[in-house]
Amino acid sequence: MTAPARAAATRRGTGRIPSTPARWVRGLCAFLLLLTPTACSSEAIGLSFSTPRVLKVGVTPRPDGEILAHVDKAVAPALGFELDPVRFTDAAAAKEALRDKLIDVAFVRNDPEAAALGQVMPGRGLAFVAPVFVEPLAVYSSTIARVSDLEEGGEVLIPSESAKAGRALRLLAAHGVVRLREGAGTQATVRDVTANPKHVRITEVPAEEMPRGYDDAVAAVVDVSTAQRTGLTAAGGKVLVLEPADGNAYVNGLFVRAGDEDDPQVSKLAELLRSPSVKAFIEDTYDHTIMPAS
């Protein structure tokens, strides 16, 4: 067809028009904008040009970041689920970024002060929505086989860090070594000990220094990952009792801003992090130094 013929055919309405949807929509929008500036919104013409939302997730490097990286690489792509991990040095920094709306969700440890999982934290504007794993404390010893075998006046090391010290004392109290003041809670200290039947000497030391004093002590209370990293287990330490994962207030999981608890993408992330695949990854990778939350 010659150029004049094509021009005539176009004037008669029989010529070809652009076939791609984007070019057609741009033409329609240009026409509608002559009528009213708002006529070309996606709602007005029934079309959406928005891209899927990428979920920004705040994490600390290990193990939260490693678990999220596994989900991001091995699980999420098959579902068309996009994650943007944002690393922070500690949980407090991630939570602050969440409050400031710099991220959408934080995958970090739950606050020990929270009375129950899922409770909105007064004055902080955050809510804990999904437990994922626990880094348990354990009582180690290379000289006794049971906690009940502790001898009169024996020395037990506990972490000097305030949060872990309270957990350690509660673990000892749960197995009858000491009794704590009623209401001492998660922030218990040695001053809250009201009974010590065997007059056990409780010594607070930094967790990283546990191996130095371990040879002179009967037992030590420390988290499993620190025990392995510092060589305490290599020094012959055996686990006598382990802090339970069920109902543990120190569980690591997902935080959102209060009001976002039902965000569908956060719910999907929670589902993935609590899936059998991720639970198997945790068990295989960390050799029981952390445990999936129930």
Do 106 and 95 form a contact (C-beta atoms < 8 A)? yes
Do 171 and 243 form a contact (C-beta atoms < 8 A)? yes
Please give the structure tokens belonging to residue 104: 């959408």
pLDDT of residue 178: 97
Give a yes or no: residue 29 inside a domain: no
CATH of the domain at 91: 3.40.190.10
Domain extent for 162: 137-242
What is the number of domains present in the chain? 2
More confident residue, 194 or 228: 194
pLDDT in tens, 122-173: 446 899 999 999 999 999 999 999 999 999 999 999 999 887 899 999 999 9
Beta strand ranges found along the chain (DSSP E) = 55-59, 83-87, 105-109, 120-121, 126-134, 137-141, 155-159, 179-180, 193-195, 201-205, 219-223, 238-242, 252-257, 291-292
pLDDT in tens, 94-114: 999 999 999 999 999 887 654
pLDDT of residue 57: 98
Same domain, 168 and 254: no
pLDDT of residue 186: 77
Cα angle at 112 between 241 and 266, to 5 degrees? 105
pLDDT at residue 215 is higher than 90: no
Distance CA 159, CA 224 (A): 12
Give a yes or no: residue 157 inside a domain: yes
Same domain, 83 and 122: yes
Do 269 and 254 form a contact (C-beta atoms < 8 A)? yes
pTM for this structure?
A: 0.71
Mean pLDDT of the chain: 80
